[in-house]
Copies of this chain bind each other. A is one copy, B any other.
């Protein structure tokens, strides 16, 4: 792998330029208007893979956004890595809070700023460029490769189960490599051993047939915005526990062992506060920040809107009110069951005369990795070589629906090796990725391929 590492180091700036080209494509999966851009981005990546020398790849249509799939078989006797990643990104709003435009990547102070810089185009490129490093060097690729890159990660991977069912035989592999997670801090190599699940819900309330004048009707009608506030206020109790009946059913009480594991991970309050934009911590009563964002579930409202939102005054009683909310789930919780509990609870709060529509927008199952799998062990060796210390095992707070789906469909173990930081503004304005971490990630993946290929 020595030559591949050298090539990667020498070619880094060219490859950042390739990444910038990909980041310019606004592949926003959640917005229907951007479906053309999604197709364009998928085709761009396939063309790029072919130019690298991976011929056998293609864009494959689904009921939603296209998948990129294919294979590169070096030697049937070698183990196979199935590369997962996603080329879709979150919407850039609020756009006016970005320092540079979200789809005009800019490098400032050693970081690349753009929507998707780290989640996930930047991290996916570490893997693609690790492959290119072998292909351009005198080192032979020590593994076979398969690809399943999707365009719906940010919207819940709705088309992935059907795709996996249709392609289960051709996608069989010895590990699923996922570079879409974070490190504890820039000096602490991190393997993610668990992911929280997700239930994402939209709530639409309707009162009167139309908006009403607040002079003529103020004081005499149920105000749908007040009802929305009552619903949201009722989602948590005074201990900041989720008040939806049955929400914690099936969630194991944290044992001393698990709590000790979480407590043993590095945690720096100053760094946390900075990443959290100066937030005051507020957790489920009795749990630490680290516990509340890993081994405990939670519920957050992600957006609300209704009535007049323009300049100045409009004296109106609105007829509609809306909210988006989502739960992060842990082992023992079923995403669809949680949705049903939320729906029933909201129905029990909303008064007569207000119509409530509660709709699921996305699900993701909670996931736990096998820390002794061939992939996790190879990744641990690779990370130790690059960072000079063995990686920590981290239960992540986020969700990657695909990981549980691959496990369910193919029985494949996952290797979650990520290089993001909580302070990268993922899903927020000024998302960025440090070029140093891009290079460390690239070197780590090159080494991972080597160790995964040679390990018995």
Contact = CB atoms under 8 A, between A and B. Distances in A.
A430 B210 contact: yes
Interface stretch (A137-145, A307-315, A333-341, A367-375): A307-315
A276 B313 contact: no
A211 interface: yes
Interface in A257-316: 275-284, 289, 292-293, 296-298, 300-316
Contacts of A225: 232, 301-304, 323
Interface string A97-130: 1000000000000000000000000000000000
Copies in the complex: 2
A384 B258 CA distance: 83
B292 A303 contact: no
A70 interface: no
A318 interface: yes
A166 interface: no
Given A93-B310, A229-B228, A232-B225, A219 B397 contact: yes
Given A93-B308, A313-B326, A353-B280, A210 B425 contact: yes
Contacts of A76: none
Nearest to A428: B211
Contacts of A282: 220-222, 351
Given A223-B300, A276-B220, A302-B317, A310 B212 contact: no
A226 interface: yes
B313 A155 contact: yes
A315 B221 contact: no
Contacts of A219: 283-284, 292-293, 296-298, 300, 328, 397
B308 A220 contact: no
Interface of A: 29-32, 90-91, 93-94, 97, 154-156, 182, 196, 198, 200, 207-223, 225-226, 228-233, 235-236, 275-284, 289, 292-293, 296-298, 300-319, 321-324, 326, 328, 351-354, 361-362, 396-399, 422, 425-430
